[in-house]
Amino acid sequence: MVTESFRPPVRTLMGPGPSDVHPRMLEAMARPTIGHLDPCFVGMMDELKGLLQYAFRTENRLTIPVSAPGSAGMESAFVNLVEPGDTVIVCRNGVFGSRMKENVERCGGTAVMVEFDWGRAVRPEQVEEALAAHPEATALAFVMAETSTGAWSPARELCELARRYDCLTIVDAVTALGGIPLEVDAWGIDAIYAGTQKCLSAPPGLSPVSFSDRAVARVQSRRHPVQSWFLDLNLVMGYWGGSGGAGSKRAYHHTAPVNGLYGLHEALVMLREEGLENAWARHWRMHAALRAGLEAMGLEFVVPEDERLPQLNAVRAPEGVDEAAVRAELLDRFNLEIGAGLGDFAGKVWRIGLMGHSARAENVMLCLGALEAVLAARDAPIANGAATAAAGAALAG
């Protein structure tokens, strides 16, 4: 029988998530637990909604964190906006487009798939062909920041297309929020979901979402009950005050993860302190340094530069190198976590995250130095000794 407390090792998290959690958030989560309907907690909920509106760049009244991970945020968008018989255009350029398809089908809808190569962005012209061919479509769904590949798709252009064809948009921003420009109102995004464990650097377990008034009207005029009781926004809005102003009366829906919400509140306060544009710029600076080091080492990126996310870097493992063994050694020797490839990229690439608190110069240098040491010891075909100097020059510039 286990009789001792669990004490995890201290790791540097540079995979696809979770990212490093700032000590301020851990301290916030250790504060006294109060009731989820306590007036003080309800006041914090209103602040949290405002902070999320800042992060999403939106005035949407229904902007809240779902009390579950990003996958539940995804499901909340689909179960509320897709009804049996609906047609949804779904863009797939990686793993998470496939999950969108599954959600549409589980809601009783038909998913019309628009396929793109893994590691490439969604192309608007191909999407428009699908929209024109399916005038019955009610929504367009796409992943803005594809976590499985590191590809960045043009959300603004895709949302403009959807409006032109009278479709709602459902956007996966799990890896995007807080890391790259995202303008919910200016781009006309109708439903968007994200995760706390990526560029916000809060612990996993919550999913920020935002729904436009147009999307809320669709939810409130459904012909069929929402498939999920827990994720039914008609009910959830009663708890979060989604249809009312700050301080509006709340109806019990579920027991919220009180301390987890403390952590998210602190993460968003820190984002506001840094400034959203400054956070975006920091992710770009750290990416430039990492890129300089990896390319000096002789490693190749999967995604073309003009379609590449700064915060999620898919890098090809050198020929003849056991990528899983390299990851295991990085974890064992350096307490450094990087990610494996998924789907078509399994066993072929590493996914190196520079998200939130992980997007720091010291992490870039640790990752490059450790990866170079492990690869050199395996006689991998790399240029040994050049990576950290190249990264340092990029940071100095």
Strands 87-92 and 110-115: parallel
Low-confidence ranges of the chain (pLDDT < 70): 242-248
Q: What is the token pair recorded at 105? A: 């089908």
Q: Domain limits of the chain?
A: 23-273, 275-396
CA max distance for the chain: 65
CATH architecture of 275-396: Alpha-Beta Complex (3.90)
The residue whose two tokens read 């919220």 is: 256
The torsion angle over the Cα atoms of residues 66, 71, 74 and 75, rounded to 10 degrees, is: -80
What does the DSSP assignment read for 143-202?
ESEETTTTEE--HHHHHHHHHHTT-EEEEE-TTTTTTS---HHHHT-SEEE--SSSTT-P
Q: Determine the residue type at 308.
A: R
The pLDDT, as a whole number, for residue 248 is 59
- Topology annotation, domain 23-273: Aspartate Aminotransferase; domain 2 (3.40.640)
Could you read off the pLDDT of 90-104 as tens digits, one per residue?
Answer: 999 999 999 999 999
The pLDDT, as a whole number, for residue 237 is 87
Between helix 361-377 and helix 276-297 the angle, nearest 10°, is: 20
Predicted model pTM: 0.96
How would you class 204 by CB atoms within 10 Å of its CB: exposed for 0-12, middle for 13-18, buried for 19 or more?
Answer: middle
